[in-house]
Chains A and B, each alone.
Chain A
Amino acid sequence: MNERTPEQEPAPRESGRLDPSAPVSSGAGGAFDAFHPPQRELIDDCVHCGFCLPACPTYELWGEEMDSPRGRIHLMETGLDGEPLSESMVEHFDNCLGCMACVTACPSGVRYGPLINRTRAQVERNHRRELGQRLLRRLIFGLFPHPRRLRALRGPLALYQRSGLSELLRRTGLTDGLPASLRTMEELVPPVRSAPRIPERVPARGERRAVVGMLTGCVQHAFFPEVNTATARVLASEGCEVLVPRGQGCCGALSEHTGREREAVAFAKRVVDTFTTAGVDYVVVNSAGCGSTLKEYARLLADEGEYATAAASLAERVRDVAELVAELGPVAERHRLELTVAYHDACHLSHGQGIRSQPRELLRSVPGLEVREIERGEICCGSAGVYNLLRPEPAAELGELKAGNVRATGAELLVTANPGCAMQIGAALRRRGERMPVAHTVQVLDAAVRGLPAETLLGRRAPAES
């Protein structure tokens, strides 16, 4: 404990804010150091009523108080009161998916998000994990927040998949020998498709109603490039001039949700710079996890001098793509799509950003399209950023539960607004020996606007890119 590990010295560092030479244990006492311990006043908001219990995915799995939001807040409190940051305490914090379903369920308005983020940062600083976990984290964070490295993987991956080697290895059970996390990573990767690079500026169709900057994301950019092109097309059809600044990098969501605060801050600064320079009315995000982090930039960069103001100003202009289209009011004509879809709420869209009705209404506005609700829809699918790589077993169990409930809808297509969920549920369905096409909300809108047949979304025919 209280040792710093080299891989926690991440990417670029600018300010001296998180000074590694700062005293580690101090007045905060117990489990946490003095720098940003979980806030006592937020903990005090919890009245211990337990309304969060049934909303929590890990409580659903294990039925244990210490793996419920109420229990974790209790652990934070005892940590502030002097209990050390023990293996067991860390385990329960690590078990949290960060899905924020508890925030939706809480009648007392407890802000669990900042509490768990601060706690995770404390864990990363003050707890030394076992070697395997450290290596795994180094691998993940050396790869995922770097769109170029992820993209570079696409070629070999596509070859691996197309050669049949992937299927062969799975069938022969050779991949079973891999550590669970690596096997999960292998399973998750969707079939690699190619999509043309989006130009830096896409003009609005018809009257220009807004100038929007688009975040292309890391996983979205590497594995779902067609979602980005669909986003740009839909926005343009709805009268937005779309700017896609180059070199925007990672937004820092994965890092922040895993307690790698300094890394997250550095990434966030680059995004703030990029979009502030671009001079846009809105920043549009099509990945729920990224969107919720961008909206929290004011808090993330609060201590970062001149960045604080810029971050706050940017955060106010961040919109999820469905949120923005609903806010502007759709104008582009929707063609008929004979299709039943199951809409899956990505946690960081529904619980994180409170966006539930907009995507449903946009989908329902497509003639011929029927939206079906997924039973126990508020429970996380287990993706949760890189949770399914760090904690593959519970993630897989949650994936099974979700896949079952998705299947029970009898819908033809699964629609969701987060690349992580798409991969996680897709993989869980494949493990059940089932295939169900998955699309982003914006891809459905794109098809409706362009008058493409439903088969395009169902994968029966390769989508024709325009």
Chain B
Amino acid sequence: MESGALTPPARQEPRGDLDGCTARLRELLGRESVITDRQRVRTYECDGLASHRTVPAVVVLPENAEQVRAVVATCSAHGVPFVARGSGTGLSAGALPRSDGVLVVTSRMRRILELDVANERAVVEPGVVNLDVTRAAQPYGYYFAPDPSSQQVCSVGGNVAENSGGAHCLKHGFTVNHVLAVSVVTPDGQEVELGGHAREAPGYDLLGAFVGSEGTLGVVTSITVRLLRVPESVRTLLAGFPTTDDAGAAVSAIIAAGITPAAVEMMDALSISAAEQAVRCDYPEGAGAVLIVELDGPHAEVEHTFTEVSEHCVAHGAFEIRTAADERERALIWKGRKSAFAAVGRISRDYIVQDGVIPRTALPEVLRRIAELSASSGVRVANVFHAGDGNLHPLVLFDGSDPGETERAEEVSGAILDLCVEHGGSITGEHGVGADKVRYMGRMFTPEDLDTMQSLRCAFDPEGLCNPGKVFPTPRLCGETPGRRRGVHPLTEAGLAEQF
């Protein structure tokens, strides 16, 4: 387990009437589904980013949309903050609970409500595992395109919250491109439908605003996802290069030639060695970098472009190229990449999975600067990235039991994000801001930018009860209902919040 709290467990000043809220929740959902036993709720104290921990006051496990609505309405009525959580695999502490609040866990809501193959869509509950959508659609020749590395575990509800990407979003887009509609319980407990079955709807794109809002605008209770036809042909290639520069140049050449692969993934030597230890993926020996390139589409097109891709790889120094002969070999190639994050646990006691974006062309320069940072600080950095769209996942390795190492690692990790922003990129590509990157938002946005975003949030969540403390560095309060509070709001008085 990642040790050493990078941030001390936050102990929030209680807001609202928690006891009254809990009692009502028990009436509504039954005792079995409302957990307050300290040891039990502690198992929910962190999501996939274990360095942030807060023990929730209450954990509820609703089984259907009506129960979610009832939970949110109850929290709202009692002024108690709440946080939604799916499988708890997020890497930005987006589902970090509140010690004064309710954690709404959707892991029991895992029914596929409708599979409408003719209209290429499925309606699923938020707790349905990403890969299970594909498993259900596959017999009909369809699949769900977003494929985060955690796809066998992560929930579709979580994908919506984070606008998850994955290796194949280079060609097929992020979750937002594959969600047609969502049923949402707004923070005041109303059930609303965003989007619709039509591909285009007039008016503001509220669905677009909701996807990727990191659980701050409401709790999703069902999702209508788009299904794609399984491509006629898929070819996967694994190429070994002497250095990441060579591999990066090959990627640029492939894209410049007008080819849009389904995925282009790169791993450097350190992450290759971790993956080898974990899953024996048998990548080319002695490689300073490997590229995984996958092409999908009509058979003839794929065969043609495949030859071209191989030629670009060879031209840029690939010393070994392997192609997957069958599904088993393809799975093995991907296994190394998809297990890379967790596999790093084999070579380092603790590590930070960083997530940043740069323009693809800046790749060699940024990698060089990361290597310099690593050398000067003595902190090892392994690199895994979606090379096609410049989404970096540097893994910053450290040993939390060593005094000072955690801080050094944090510094390097933060400096990498500065590099991304400096090169015109972003502080997150797909993992989200959550609680973890709140402190970096100011490096990318001006206060005015952040205020504008908060205005949107306030439209959905005027009381600030829905996943508060995430995304924005300074919580802002939205215009208060007259008469309900008098005088200065205590948070404003304490200097913790400003009022619009």
Chain A stretch 41-57: residues in CB contact (< 8 A) with chain B: 43-51, 53-54
Complex: chain A residue closest to B127, CB-CB: A63
| A63-B110 Cα distance, complex, nearest whole Å | 9
Interface residues of B in 307-346 (CB under 8 A from A): 339, 341-346
Q: Is the CB of B50 within 8 A of A48?
A: yes
Question: A residues 37-94 with Cβ under 8 Å of B?
Answer: 43-51, 53-54, 59, 62-66, 70-71, 73-75, 77-78, 83, 86, 88-89, 92
Chain B residues, CB < 8 A from A70: 43
- Residue numbers in B under 8 Å from A88 (CB-CB): 37, 39-40
Tell me, in angstroms, the Cα distance from A108 to B278 when the chains sit together.
6
- Interface membership of A107, Cβ < 8 A: yes
Select which of B39, B107, B279, B345 is within 8 A of A75 by beta carbon: B39
Which residues in A have their C-beta under 8 angstroms from that of B61? 63-64
Task: Verify if A109 is at the interface (C-beta below 8 Å from B).
Answer: yes
B252 within 8 A of A: no
Complex Cα spacing A51 to B345, Å: 13
Q: Does B42 sit within 8 A of A, measured CB to CB?
A: yes
Please pick, from B105, B153, B345, the residue contacting A53 in the complex, using a CB distance under 8 A. Answer: B153
Q: Which residues of A contact B341 (CB under 8 A)?
A: 47, 49, 107
B residues 349-393 touching A (CB-CB < 8 Å): 349, 351
How distant is the Cα of A59 from the Cα of B345 in the complex, in angstroms?
23
Query: On chain B, which size bracket covers the interface?
Result: 35 or more
Per-position contact with A for B38-75: 1 when CB-CB < 8 Å, else 0? 11101111111110000000000100000000000000
Given contacts A48-B2, A50-B88, A63-B108, contact A108 B345 (CB under 8 A): yes
Report how far A45 CA is from B277 CA in the complex, Å: 14
Residues on the A chain within 8 Å of B48, using CB: 48-50
Asked if B260 is an interface residue, CB under 8 A from chain A, the answer is no
Q: Is the CB of A51 within 8 A of B150?
A: yes
Is the beta-carbon distance between A44 and B3 smaller than 8 angstroms? yes
Let me know if B43 and A49 touch, CB within 8 A: no
Output the residue of B50, B127, B277, B349 with the most chain A CB within 10 A. B50
Q: Which residues of A contact B344 (CB under 8 A)?
A: 47
Instruction: Tell me which residues across on chain B come within 8 A of A71, comparing CB atoms.
Output: 43
Interface 1/0 per residue, A388-418 and B, CB below 8 Å: 0000000000000000000000000000000
**Interchain CB contact (< 8 A) of A74 among B1, B38, B342:** B1
B190 in the interface (beta carbon within 8 A): no
Min distance, Cβ B340 to any Cβ of chain A, angstroms:
8
Complex CA distance for A106 and B339, rounded to whole angstroms: 9
Indicate whether A65 sits within 8 Å of B110 (C-beta atoms), given known contacts A44-B1, A89-B39: no
Which residues of B have CB within 8 Å of A51?
150, 152-153, 339, 342
Write the nearest CB–CB distance from B124 to chain A, whole angstroms.
15
CB-CB contacts below 8 Å: B153-179 with A: 153-154
Of B1, B3, B40, which is within 8 A of A73 by CB? B1
Q: Identify A50's interface contact among B153, B279, B343, B346, CB under 8 A.
A: B153
CB–CB A66/B107 < 8 A: no
Chain B positions 249-294 with a Cβ under 8 Å from a chain A Cβ: 277-279
- Whole-angstrom distance between the Cβ of B79 and the nearest chain A Cβ: 26
**Complex formed: what's the CA distance from A43 to B345 in Å?**
11
Cβ of A62 to closest chain B Cβ, rounded Å: 8
Q: How many A-B residue pairs have CB under 8 A?
A: 103
Q: A-side binding surface: helix, strand, loop or mixed?
A: helix
Contact A109 B39 (CB under 8 A): no
Which residues does chain A contribute within 8 Å of B38, judged by CB atoms? 83
Whether B278 lies near A109 (C-beta < 8 A) is: yes
Q: Mark B1-21, 1 if CB is under 8 A from A, else 0.
A: 111000000000000000000
Instruction: Decide: A75 near B108, CB < 8 A? Known: A44-B1, A44-B349, A108-B343.
Output: no
| B406 CB within 8 Å of chain A | no
Q: Is B22 an interface residue (CB 8 A)?
A: no
Q: Chain A's nearest CB lies how many Å from the CB of B102?
A: 15
The distance in angstroms between the C-alpha atoms of A50 and B44, with both chains bound, is: 12
Q: Report if A65-B278 is in contact (Cβ < 8 Å); known contacts: A54-B153, A74-B42.
A: no
Q: Tell me, in angstroms, the Cα distance from A70 to B38 when the chains sit together.
A: 17
A85, closest chain B residue (CB): B39
Whether A65 contacts B43 by the Cβ 8 Å rule is yes
What residues of A have a CB within 8 angstroms of the CB of B39 in the complex?
66, 75, 78, 83, 86, 88-89
Task: Find out whether the CB atom of B129 lies under 8 angstroms from the CB atom of A108.
Answer: no
Chain B residues closer than 8 Å to A44, beta-carbon distance? 1, 3, 349
Q: Is the Cβ of A108 less than 8 Å from the Cβ of B150?
A: no
B129 to A54, Cβ gap below 8 A? yes
Q: Which residues of A contact B105 (CB under 8 A)?
A: 63, 65
Q: Which of B39, B110, B343, B346 has the most CB of A within 10 A?
A: B39
A67 to chain B minimum Cβ distance, whole angstroms, is 9
Q: Which of A50, A64, A74 contacts B89 (CB 8 A)?
A: A50
- Shortest Cβ distance from B256 into chain A, in angstroms? 34
Q: How far is the CA of A66 from the CA of B351 in the complex (A)?
A: 24
Among B1, B278, B341: residue with most chain A CB under 10 A: B1
Question: In the docked arrangement, what's the CA distance between A417 and B51, Å?
Answer: 42
> Within 8 Å CB of A77, what residues of B?
1
Assuming the A-B contacts A63-B107, A108-B278, are A47 and B342 also in contact, with contact meaning beta carbons closer than 8 angstroms in the complex?
yes
A5-44 contacts to B, CB under 8 A, are: 43-44
Query: Which residues does chain B contribute within 8 Å of A45, judged by CB atoms?
Result: 345-346
Q: B150 is contacted by which of A46, A49, A63, A92 (Cβ under 8 Å)?
A: A49
Q: Contacts A64-B107, A65-B105 hold; do A78 and B50 have CB atoms under 8 A apart? A: no
- Return chain B residues, CB-CB under 8 Å to A62: 108
Q: What 0/1 readout, one digit per residue, does chain B (62-106) give for beta carbons within 8 Å of chain A?
A: 000000000000000000000000011100000000000000010
A66 neighbours in B (Cβ, 8 Å) = 39-40, 43
The docked-state distance in angstroms from the alpha carbon of A328 to that of B46 is: 49
Cα(A83)–Cα(B38), bound, Å: 9
Chain A residues near B43 (CB-CB < 8 A): 65-66, 70-71, 74-75
Beta-carbon contact of B1 and A107 below 8 Å: no
Q: Which residues on B sit within 8 Å (CB–CB) of A48?
A: 1-2, 46-50
Question: Contacts of B40 on A, CB cut-off 8 Å?
Answer: 66, 88, 92
CB pair A49 B89 closer than 8 Å: yes
Residues of A near B339 (CB, < 8 A) are 51, 107
Q: Give Cα A54–Cα B87 distance, bound, in whole angstroms.
A: 10
1/0 per position for B176-189, CB-CB distance to A under 8 A? 00000000000000
Give every chain A residue within 8 A of B153 (Cβ-Cβ).
Answer: 49-51, 53-54
- B279 lies within 8 A of A107 (CB): yes
> Are B2 and A47 interface neighbours, CB within 8 A?
yes
Q: In angstroms, how far is the closest chain B Cβ from the Cβ of A135?
A: 27
Q: Which residues of A contact B349 (CB under 8 A)?
A: 44
Complex formed: what's the CA distance from A83 to B345 in Å?
A: 26
Cα distance, A227 to B89, chains bound together (Å): 44
Among B38, B87, B105: residue with most chain A CB under 10 A: B87
By the criterion CB–CB under 8 Å, are A107 and B278 in contact? yes
Interchain nearest-CB distance for B431 vs A (Å): 13
| A70 CB to nearest chain B CB (Å) | 8
Contacts of B45 in A (CB 8 A): 74
A71, B39: Cα distance in complex, Å: 10
The CA of A338 and the CA of B427, in the complex, are separated in Å by 62
Complex contact B42–A78 (CB within 8 A): yes
CA distance in complex: A360, B312 (Å): 42
* Chain A residues with CB below 8 A from B107, complex form: 59, 63-65
Residue of A nearest to B131 (CB): A54
* CB pair A108 B37 closer than 8 Å: no
The 4 residue pairs across chains A and B that have the minimum distance between CB atoms: A108-B345, A107-B339, A107-B342, A63-B107
Please give 9 more A-B residue pairs, beta carbons under 8 A apart, in addition to A48-B48, A50-B154: A49-B341, A51-B153, A51-B342, A63-B105, A65-B44, A106-B342, A108-B278, A109-B277, A109-B278
Can you list 22 A-B contacts with CB-CB less than 8 angstroms, sorted by A residue number?
A45-B346, A47-B344, A48-B1, A48-B49, A50-B87, A51-B150, A51-B153, A54-B129, A63-B108, A65-B43, A66-B39, A66-B40, A71-B43, A74-B42, A74-B45, A83-B38, A83-B42, A86-B39, A88-B37, A107-B279, A107-B343, A109-B345
Which A positions have Cβ atoms within 8 angstroms of B? 43-51, 53-54, 59, 62-66, 70-71, 73-75, 77-78, 83, 86, 88-89, 92, 106-109
